[in-house]
Each structure stands twice: as structure tokens, then as C-alpha cells.
Structure 1
Amino acid sequence: MVKDQIKCDICEKEYANKSVLKQHMKTHLPSKPWKCDLCPREFSQKSKLIEHVNRHQGTPPFTCSNCGKGFYQKDRLKTHELSHSNSRPHECNICLLTFRRKYELNKHLKMHDTNIKEQLKKYVCETCGKKNYSFADLNRHMLKHTDIRLYKCDHCSKAFKDKYTLKCHEVIMHFPLKETF
């Protein structure tokens, strides 16, 4: 079985770890601190701005050494390079199928464990019927149905339903990174 993915509470996309989810959560914030100097576009993540600026310049910065295909993101190049290899290092421990990419294996594993996962969701929200894995998950979910905002910003008057959103707000609004690239 694959380790459980971490799900975004807003759009329900799934991520392999907390740091990737943390980057994704920035896309849901109304503030977009990274602004393109060449057009009116704004971005919630610096990496997305860099990719966008590269597109303005017209030349992909990452090139496949096997076929010359260009990419604007390094991780897309790495994924592409696997297509030139016969290596299939990710094996399903249930049916022994192999995959080139870990995300392909993770997608495949969901086929095997959909029923098992549903059985593990024992904590049901009485308001909307959403099933949760733990009592803590249910309590976190229940905040969506209230206007309670326990986490207050020390720098302004805003309040938030959870610590994570407060932290994102503080980083973006009160301590923006002044990096150049």
C-alpha cells in the first residue's frame, strides 16, 4: 500500500507530502505577491512567476539531452527524460505491475484500496455527510461550517479558522520575500 496522500481541504487535490501541499495552498490565497514586469499577470508562488517570465523570453531553459525538446520547468524535463528509458522502478506490491513514475503507481494503487480507504473513514460530519479518517480531521472539517476564527494575526485585525492559513497570511502579507532572480 502507498502512504496516504495529503488532501487540500479547499479543492481536494492530493499531494505526497506537507511541503508540496503548503506550496499548493498559496494558490488559494487572494493575495498574489509575485508580479510580472512584462504584463499584468500576478502569481501566488515565485516559481510560477519565473516559469511565466521564461515563457515571455520564448526559449525554454531546460532541454532534453536525448531529443532536444525544451521545457520551462526542470521537473517536467526530468519526467520527460524517463520516457527515453526502459526503467520501471516503481512496483505495485499487490499485483506486481511496474511503473516509470511514482505518481503513476500511486494512481494505480487507488484502484486496489478504494474500498479499504472508505472503510477507514469512520467519522462523519452531521452537517454535510463528509467522511473523515479521524476525530481530529472531523473537528478540522467542522470549522468550514462555522464563522469561528480563533487564530488572530498579531500584525493586523484579520482572524483565521486555522493556524496554517494564519501562517500563510503572515508570510505573504507581513513578511514578503524580497528575492530577485
Structure 2
Amino acid sequence: HRRIHSGERPFTCPRCAKGFKTPYERQRHALTHLAAEKPFRCGDCGKDFPAANALLLHRRQRCQDKPHTCGVCGKRFTYGHSLKVHERVH
């Protein structure tokens, strides 16, 4: 708590030496360095991502990667939880 109000920034980025108050802020900042390094490409739309989990999230939300299918009506869902909620309709 004191660190936030004192202005102390002990968590330093190893690439650019910028200081941060928390490890989380430093980690979030590190993603900006990866912006130029995006080795994960969506095969559907061609958009590039810095991390595999970001590509997976994109595919599920934007590119219709819906692996969960209702056995009754065939409707597809991104998340298993959404399918379970839907199945209550039948």
C-alpha cells in the first residue's frame, strides 16, 4: 500500500528499464514489447497474436470456433457452460 502512494517503482522491465509499482503492471507492460512479435496467426482471418491463449480466445469469440454442440438441436457453443445453460431449455 505504501509503495502506491510513495511513488516507488521497484519492478523494472528487463527490456526497457521502465519501473512499475506492481509485478502485474510490469507483466502487462511486457505485452507491449510482444506487440511486434506475434507468432500466432488465426487461420481463418489472418490476424496475428502474441500468445497462444490470445489466439484461442479470438478464435472462440470472433471466428466461430464452437466446439460444444447440443445433442438435441445441434446448436453450437463457444463454452461448455453456455451449452449446459442451453440444455435446460430442452
Counterpart position of 2:49: 99
Deviation >3 Å, runs of 4+: 101-104
Deviation at 1:74, TM superposition (A): 1.9
Corresponding residue to 1:111 among 62, 69, 72: 62
Counterpart position of 1:88: 38
Corresponding residue to 2:17 among 68, 88, 91: 68
| 1:1-181 aligned within 5 A | 52-85=1-34, 86-102=36-52, 104-109=54-59, 110-113=61-64, 116=66, 119-120=75-76, 132-134=82-84
Deviation at 1:81, TM superposition (A): 2.5
Deviation at 1:102, TM superposition (A): 4.8
* Gap runs ≥5 in structure 2: 70-74
Counterpart position of 2:72: none
Deviations 1:19-58 (A, max 9, x none): xxxxxxxxxxxxxxxxxxxxxxxxxxxxxxxxx4420332
Q: State the TM-score, normalized to the length of structure 2.
A: 0.51
Q: Which of 1 and 2 has higher RCO (CA within 8 Å, sep 6+)? A: 2
Q: CA RMSD in A?
A: 3.5
Name the CA distance, whole Å, in 1 between partners of 2:14 and 2:54: 24
